[in-house]
Amino acid sequence: MSQADPVPQILVNRHCQLAENPLWDETAGTLYWTDITGGAVWLHHLASADTQKIYSGPTVGGFTQEADGALLLFRVNDIVRLDPADGTLREVAKFNEPGNTRFNDVIADPRGRVFAGTIGTTPTSGGVYRFDPDGSMRRVITGTGCSNGMAFTADRRRFFWTCSTRKQIWLYDYDETTGDIANGRIWYQAGDDEGTTDGLTIDAEDNIWSARWDGWRVRQHAADDGRVLREVKFPVAKVSSVTFGGVDLGTMFLSTAGGDDRQSLDGAIFALNVPGVRGRPKFRSRLT
C-alpha cells in the first residue's frame, strides 16, 4: 500500500455483533447505526466523541430519519417511531407479510416514502416493500433471499438495489412523482473472490460505494457502467455498510460485524476519508 492510499480509522468499537445502516444526521452532527443481532441502536456525537445506546429491544433491521429528527425503526413485525432525545417509542405500522423473517436495510426516497428490504425464509421469498406517507404499502421487488443496500442518483431518475443472495447490484428506472421503479437490470455482478455485495451508498458524482461482506473491503464503482474504480482494504472481514457524513460530507462511515472476540476490531465503526470524494445528504422519511 502506498502512502497515498486511504486508511480506515477506528471511530467507535463497541464490538457490535452485526452493525448496519450507518446514518448521518447533519443537523445534530451525530452518526446512528443499528446492531441487528445485538438488539440495539447507537448514536455517536462526532464533536464530543460521546457514544450512547439509545434503544434496546427487538431486532432493528434498518431505520430512516423522519423530517423532524425522529427515527423510524423497522423491526421484525412492526415499524416504530423512536425519539432519540428520550427513548420513547410509538408504533407506526404492523408488518406480517408471509415469507419474510425481518427487515434488512431501508432508505427514504425524495418524497419521504421508504423502500424497506427484507430477508426471506427461503432464497427467493424476500424482497423490497415501499411504504408511502398515505399509509399504504406495496411490494416492489421480489425473488431474493437477502435484500440489501439502496441509493438514488442525483437526477432522481435511477435507483440502485443490492441482492446479496446473488452478489449483485441492480439498477432500476425511478419515477419520483409516483415512487415506481421499473426496468430492473443487473448493473454489477461480484466475483467469488471479492465477498458478498452488502450495504452501499452513492457519492456526489453518482459513483457507488459497496461494502463487501467477507470481502475485507469497500469498492467504488463507476456511475456509468459499474466498473471498479478503486477499493479500500479493511482489517476486518465483514464490512457491512457505508454512508457519508462529517464536515461537508467528506467522510465515509462504515459498519462491520462479528464482534464476539473482544480483542478484535470486528464489529467496529470505521471512518474513511478519500481525497476528492464527498457524498450527498440522505433523504428523510415522512411517514409520521
Residue 287 placed within a domain: no
Q: Going by DSSP bridges, is the β-strand pair 30-35/19-25 parallel, antiparallel, or unpaired?
A: antiparallel
CATH number at residue 79: 2.120.10.30
From the candidates 35, 105, 109, 198, which is the catalytic residue? 198
Q: Which residues constitute the domain of residue 203?
A: 9-272
- Kindly state whether residue 128 falls inside one of the protein's structural domains: yes
Residue 105 located in a structural domain: yes
The domain total for the chain is 1
Per-residue pLDDT of 127-139, as tens digits, reads 999 999 999 999 9
Task: List the one residue out of 132, 127, 164, 166 whose CA is nearest residue 149.
Answer: 164
Q: Is residue 280 part of a domain?
A: no
Which secondary structure element, helix H or strand E, spans residue 1, and what is its range? none
Contact 139, 126 (CB under 8 A): no
This prediction has a pTM of 0.96
Tell me 226's DSSP state.
-
Which residue is it, cell 443499528?
A: 34
Q: Is residue 277 part of a domain?
A: no
Expressed in percent and rounded to 5, the helix, strand and coil fractions of the chain are 0, 55, 45
User: 1 in a domain, yes or no?
Assistant: no
Going residue by residue through the chain, which has 288 residues, state the pLDDT in tens, using 9 for 90 and above: 444 689 999 999 999 999 999 999 999 999 999 999 999 999 999 999 999 999 999 999 999 999 999 999 999 999 999 999 999 999 999 999 989 989 999 999 999 999 999 999 999 999 999 999 999 999 999 999 999 999 999 999 999 999 999 999 999 999 999 999 999 999 999 999 999 999 999 999 999 999 999 999 999 999 999 999 999 999 999 999 999 999 999 999 999 999 777 779 999 999 999 999 999 999 999 999
Residue 281 lies in a domain: no
Question: What pLDDT, on the 0 to 100 scale, is given for residue 2?
Answer: 44
Euclidean distance between CA atoms 157 and 175, whole angstroms: 6
**Known active-site residue 68:** no
160-189 burial by CB neighbour count: b if 16+ within 10 A, else e?
Answer: bbbbbbbbbbbbbebeeeebebeeeeebbe
The span from the CA of 76 to the CA of 63, in Å, is 12
In a domain, residue 286? The reply is no
Which cell numbers in the block locate residue 33?
447505526
